[in-house]
């Protein structure tokens, strides 16, 4: 491939954020058993709470703030309700409750949220086969990363009871797709892809060595090796 630098016009650079809002610790984020409820004269068999804009903290059964924060517009399966200081709260995890004032309640299938499991400590993963990328709700993004390409990994997350490594912002690959090479020299904030392959999610302009646009574009969905 030419030595011309490909300067991506998007934010596709594979940078892993050190923390992810909207997730709870693996210890406290035990999936609750949804309990049917009566709401405005209707029976909700699979109640789901969607957090209002601004997000909300969770509390334990004694009304103490747990320190876990649910990001705005994230959705959670609701368990039993309890009263804390006269206010109704719903269970979203093991001894984790959110106020009814901070959620919109609907009846439907849950939207799965990533639960942080562990840090990768700068490990590199090489794909054993071409692997599909999913978002934080386990929905396919339409992007596939090629077999034998290597990636610096973000954290490991559980999504819908399956384990994934984060490889970009809101992009995850099944942990079983990787051969892992451990590393202790790179922190999560330093995570970048190795000089192997980059997948493009939008049409991306090509620049020359001086940073001038060439007028040529690489198509969305294509994968390129860099040097």
Quick: pLDDT tens for 165-204: 999 888 999 999 999 987 644 444 444 444 455 666 566 6
Give me the pLDDT at residue 141, please: 86
- Pair 156, 120: CB distance under 8 Å: yes
pLDDT, residue 149, reads 93
Could you tell me the two tokens for 62?
């004694």
Q: Which two tokens stand for residue 69?
A: 């924060």
What domains, with CATH codes, occur in the chain? 37-107 (2.30.30), 115-225 (no CATH)
The answer to whether 79 and 29 are in contact (CB under 8 A) is no
pLDDT at 188: 44
Residue 46: the pLDDT is 83
Cβ proximity of 153 and 165 under 8 Å = yes
Whether 60 and 66 have beta carbons less than 8 Å apart is answered as yes
Predicted local distance difference test score (pLDDT) of residue 72: 85
Q: What pLDDT does 172 receive?
A: 93
**What is residue 44's predicted lDDT score, i.e. its pLDDT?**
82
- For the chain, residues with pLDDT lower than 70 are 1-34, 109-113, 183-205, 207-213, 215, 217, 220-227
Give the model's pLDDT for residue 86: 95
């Amino acid at each position: 491939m030419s030595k011309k630098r490909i300067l991506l016009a998007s934010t596709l650079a594979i940078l892993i954020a050190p923390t992810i809002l909207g997730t709870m610790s693996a210890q406290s984020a035990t999936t609750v058993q949804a309990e049917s409820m009566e709401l405005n004269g209707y029976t909700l068999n699979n109640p789901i709470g969607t957090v209002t804009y601004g997000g909300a903290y969770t509390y334990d059964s004694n009304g103490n703030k747990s320190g876990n924060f649910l990001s705005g517009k994230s959705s959670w399966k609701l368990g039993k309700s309890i009263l804390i200081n006269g206010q109704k709260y719903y269970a979203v995890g093991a001894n984790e409750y959110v106020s009814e004032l901070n959620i919109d309640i609907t009846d439907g299938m849950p939207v799965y949220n990533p639960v942080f499991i562990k840090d990768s400590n700068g490990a590199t993963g090489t794909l054993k086969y071409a692997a599909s990328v999913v978002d934080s709700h386990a929905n396919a993004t339409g992007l596939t990363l090629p077999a034998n390409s290597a990636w610096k990994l973000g954290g490991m997350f559980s999504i819908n009871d399956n384990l994934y490594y984060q490889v970009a912002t809101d992009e995850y690959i099944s942990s079983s797709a990787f051969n892992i090479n451990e590393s202790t020299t790179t922190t999560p904030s330093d995570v970048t892809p190795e000089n192997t392959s980059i997948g493009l999610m939008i049409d991306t302009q090509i620049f020359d060595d001086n940073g001038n646009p060439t007028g040529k574009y690489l198509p969305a969905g294509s994968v390129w090796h860099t040097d």
